[in-house]
């Protein structure tokens, strides 16, 4: 499978993606635990069917020391016992924030309160920005059919 656009080889495409990737880097610098960042990025990407981002965030999480058990259970996190209450709150926030287009009504007050119980305002801002960024990245990759499987940890971080 070939990508419809070459994100890094086409200068015109690069003009658009360079500031977008800088925003992603800025979000990663915010005070959110790396494991939470990768787990949430992975879950958003699973929901959106973005194979490139699933590949990327699985490998980044592994490189950061995440276990294969937890990575395999992200898709079924509600029934899994391997996630902390804080991670569960972040995953629920990510799901509701991602499923806005499904007519689910957005993020409800209970989900926001659960996240706010575990994360301060700066971390909540990081979570919200990261969820929005991942949804945008997923759409860029899915629309242009970016192939998955060849990502190397650290390649884009």
Instruction: List, run by run, the mean pLDDT of 10-residue segments along the chain (157 residues).
Output: 82 87 93 94 98 96 95 97 98 96 84 98 97 97 93 85
The pLDDT assigned to 94 comes to 97
Confidence (pTM): 0.93
The pLDDT assigned to 5 comes to 84
The pLDDT assigned to 22 comes to 93
Note the Cα 48 to chain centre separation in Å.
10
The pLDDT assigned to 8 comes to 76
The pLDDT assigned to 89 comes to 98
The pLDDT assigned to 16 comes to 86
The pLDDT assigned to 51 comes to 97
The pLDDT assigned to 30 comes to 94
3-state class percentages of the chain: helix first, strand second, coil last, to nearest 5: 70, 0, 30
The pLDDT assigned to 15 comes to 87
**What tokens were used for 53?**
């981002």
The pLDDT assigned to 128 comes to 97
The pLDDT assigned to 157 comes to 76
Residue 91 contacts by C-beta under 8 Å, 6 or more apart in sequence? Answer: 39, 40, 43, 74, 77, 83
């Amino acid at each position: 499978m070939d990508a419809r656009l070459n994100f890094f080889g086409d200068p015109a495409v690069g003009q658009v993606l360079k500031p977008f990737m800088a925003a992603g880097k800025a979000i990663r610098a915010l005070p959110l635990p790396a494991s939470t960042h990768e787990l949430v990025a992975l879950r958003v990407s699973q929901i959106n069917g973005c194979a490139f981002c699933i590949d990327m965030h699985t490998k980044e999480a592994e490189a950061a020391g995440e276990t294969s058990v937890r990575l395999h259970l992200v898709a079924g996190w509600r029934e899994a016992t391997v996630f902390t209450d804080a991670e569960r709150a972040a995953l629920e926030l990510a799901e509701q924030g991602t499923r806005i287009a499904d007519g689910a009504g957005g993020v409800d007050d209970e989900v926001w309160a659960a996240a706010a119980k575990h994360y301060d305002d700066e971390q909540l801002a990081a979570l919200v920005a990261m969820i929005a960024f991942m949804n945008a990245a997923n759409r860029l990759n899915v629309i242009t059919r970016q192939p998955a499987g060849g990502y190397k940890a650290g390649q884009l971080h």
